[in-house]
Amino acid sequence: MIAIVAAAAADAERIAEDLRDEGVTVLETVDPAILSEGDPGGATSLREADTLILAGAGILTAALVAECDRLGVRILLLVDREADVRAARAFGLAEPLPPDAPAWRIVAAARGAGIEVAPEVPAQGRVLVVWGPEGAPGRTTLAIELALEHARLGAHVALLDADSHAPSIAIAVGLADESPGLAAACRQAEFGLLDAGELLRVSVPLADADGRVDVLTGINRVSRWPELSGPRMTAALAVIREWADVVIVDVSASLEADEEIVSDLDGPRRNAATLAALAAADQIVAVAAADPVGLARLVRGYAELRRIVGATPVRVVVNRLRSGPLGLDPRGQVRRALERFSGVTDVSFVPDDRRAADAALLAARPVGEVSPRSALAQAVRRLAAELQPRHTRRSGQEVATRARGGIRRRIGVTGVTRPGAEIVDP
């Protein structure tokens, strides 16, 4: 075995010395930044090696994998961050080892690299669409918070901004809106080129410690809405739901299809992304503002939503609940109004917590990170638990045990392993 070690200086020397004790020829140690900055040839002896050992977060790139494939060099990762583990699996590499793995284990893994892919039953993630009527009832805030809480329950979450009228997820969580994002994923899906590796390229991690939330940002100019066509969106969601355990889609308010009235030609539809996401949804969260205007808008839009989605489960969430515009007993007032005018009996409530919401906007982070004990964060936490399928709901202790143990589930068709094992109630 002839190896090159790419790691931080202190770690590289330690790994190289231990490998030499195991009889491995280490040609050189290199700075991983050289490899991750678009210069795969930075390791001068790469042509002479048969194994490249990478230690460090975020250094695996498509260019490096392609160069090693061209030269016939195995890649073995020493990482423990969830996002890096997913990247290794997406590129079809051997299962990564922890950063402190002993040399004998590194040697054994390197010698067995490339022979492991067990056929397994394909699995699909759930698609959860967050919709709400006009008037900014809080769709984007709920989508972001639900993504974070599902990740805390142990799932790998893909957060999509499919709002073709007013996309805002990137701004709300402090991400650059110039990243390729959902539009790029839709273009690739149209030609059958979208896979786990491409999704890693066009998405942006939310920068949580476990790397469990990947964001596909929305269009940065509303004039680009034709890029989010219905067929593209449908094709992209079919791939994304095989990549992530939970796909949360923030869509626009409008459900109209007026273009079909004007012309029967197969042209672009402004609301096609919203309608395609709703058609693919396993569950829908309908968000309403807790005031007379917001509730009236929900009542009008709910009938149209039901006509479009049919039997798909819809959970109504009344956001920014406060007594001011509704008088005494605001929960009771809302429940009676929705039951009377829409037949809705199952309603969840999120309180009006301006302090936590403002702190999150100021920090450009989710409320669940900035103010995890706030009333808003706790309400969304309860909602996320209620939205879990019955056969996968777990107690808080089970979730903590699962997160520490790193239980995973795989899909054999694409060779991708995703966090988020199903746990069945006894």
pLDDT at 208 over 90: no
Give the span between the Cα atoms of 46 and 68, in whole angstroms.
8
CB 283 within 8 A of CB 128: yes
The pair of structure tokens assigned to 179 is 């990243």
249 phi/psi in degrees, rounded to 5 = -115, 120
8-22, 48-62, 242-256: range with highest mean pLDDT: 242-256
CB 77 within 8 A of CB 84: yes
327 or 260, which is more confident: 327
* Sequence-separated contacts (24+) of 361-366 with Cβ below 8 Å: 361/172, 363/174, 364/171, 364/172, 364/173, 364/174, 365/173, 365/174, 366/144, 366/145, 366/147, 366/148, 366/173, 366/206
2 torsion bin: left (phi>0), alpha (psi -120 to 50), beta (else): beta
pLDDT at 391 over 80: no
267 torsion bin: left (phi>0), alpha (psi -120 to 50), beta (else): beta
Residue type (1 letter), 188: Q
103 or 232, which is more confident: 232
Give the span between the Cα atoms of 290 and 293, in whole angstroms.
8
Question: Would you call 373 helix, strand, or coil by DSSP?
Answer: coil
- Provide the pLDDT for residue 411: 34
Mean pLDDT of 352-375: 95
Mean pLDDT of 162-166: 94
- Written as one string, the DSSP assignment of 140-183 is HHHHHHHHHHHHHTT--EEEEE--SS---HHHHTT--TTS-HHH
Mean pLDDT of 297-315: 95
Q: How confident is the model at residue 328 (pLDDT cuts 50, 70, 90)?
A: confident
pLDDT at 416 over 60: no
- Provide the pLDDT for residue 148: 94
- The share of the chain scoring above pLDDT 90, in percent, equals 50
The pair of structure tokens assigned to 199 is 């999704």
Residue with tokens 């009333």: 375
Give the span between the Cα atoms of 186 and 268, in whole angstroms.
14
Residue type (1 letter), 76: L
- Provide the pLDDT for residue 306: 94
**CATH architecture for segment(s) 2-111:** 3-Layer(aba) Sandwich (3.40)
Q: How confident is the model at residue 307 (pLDDT cuts 50, 70, 90)?
A: very high
pLDDT at 72 over 70: yes
DSSP state of 72: T
Question: Would you call 134 helix, strand, or coil by DSSP?
Answer: coil
pLDDT at 418 over 60: no
- Provide the pLDDT for residue 225: 92
Predicted confidence (pLDDT) per residue in 1-52, tens digit = 777 777 777 777 788 888 888 788 877 777 777 665 545 555 556 777 788 8
89 or 266, which is more confident: 89
CB 205 within 8 A of CB 83: yes
DSSP state of 54: E
Domain 2-111 shares a fold with domain 126-410:
yes
- Provide the pLDDT for residue 406: 38
Superfamily of domain 126-410: P-loop containing nucleotide triphosphate hydrolases (3.40.50.300)
pLDDT at 353 over 70: yes
- Provide the pLDDT for residue 273: 95
Question: Would you call 132 helix, strand, or coil by DSSP?
Answer: coil
Domain ranges within the chain, ordered by starting residue: 2-111, 126-410
* Degrees, nearest 5: CA angle 391-331-288: 75
Listed range (105-114, 149-158, 395-404) with the worst mean pLDDT: 395-404
